[in-house]
């Protein structure tokens, strides 16, 4: 089951929601169903030509790696 990021139009809060099937998300703060799905950043590492590592990450707070979050690399 994927986790998506949403923005609540009623209380202006961003939150994550674990989606089960066709379930409709609701705001974790005010429980409104008036939410919009956000584009989530993703991080990846790809082996380029000649074995060079090419990395892309969106907002990694860790300077020790190129993961998109600390859960990706195990750092805390």
Residue 13's domain spans which residues? 3-37
- Could you tell me if 31 and 48 lie in one domain? no
Do 61 and 73 contact (CB within 8 A), yes or no? no
- 33 and 51 co-located in one domain: no
Nearest to 41 by CA among 65, 62, 69: 69
Q: Say how many domains are in the chain.
A: 2
Q: Are residues 48 and 33 in the same domain?
A: no
pLDDT at residue 52 in the model? 61
Residue 60 has which token pair? 């990694």
- Distance, in Å, from the CA atom of 64 to the CA atom of 48, rounded to the nearest integer, reads 21
| pLDDT(69) > 60 | no
Residues near 43 by beta carbon (within 8 Å), at least 6 away in sequence: 55, 56, 57, 58, 60, 66, 67, 68, 69, 72
- Mean pLDDT rounded to a whole number for the chain: 74
Q: Which residue has the higher pLDDT, 10 or 56?
A: 10
Q: Mean of the pLDDT values across residues 31-37?
A: 95
Nearest residue to 67 (alpha-carbon basis) of 39, 40, 44, 41: 44
Model-level pTM greater than 0.75? no
Instruction: State pLDDT tens for residues 40-63.
Output: 766 666 666 666 655 554 444 445
């Amino acid at each position: 089951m994927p986790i998506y990021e949403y923005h609540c139009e009623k209380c202006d809060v961003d939150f994550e929601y674990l989606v089960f099937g066709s379930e409709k998300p609701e705001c974790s703060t005010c429980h409104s169903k008036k939410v919009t799905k956000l584009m989530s950043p993703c991080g990846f590492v790809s082996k380029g030509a000649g074995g060079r590592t090419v990395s892309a990450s969106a907002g990694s707070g860790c300077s020790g790696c190129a993961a998109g979050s600390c859960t990706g690399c195990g750092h805390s």
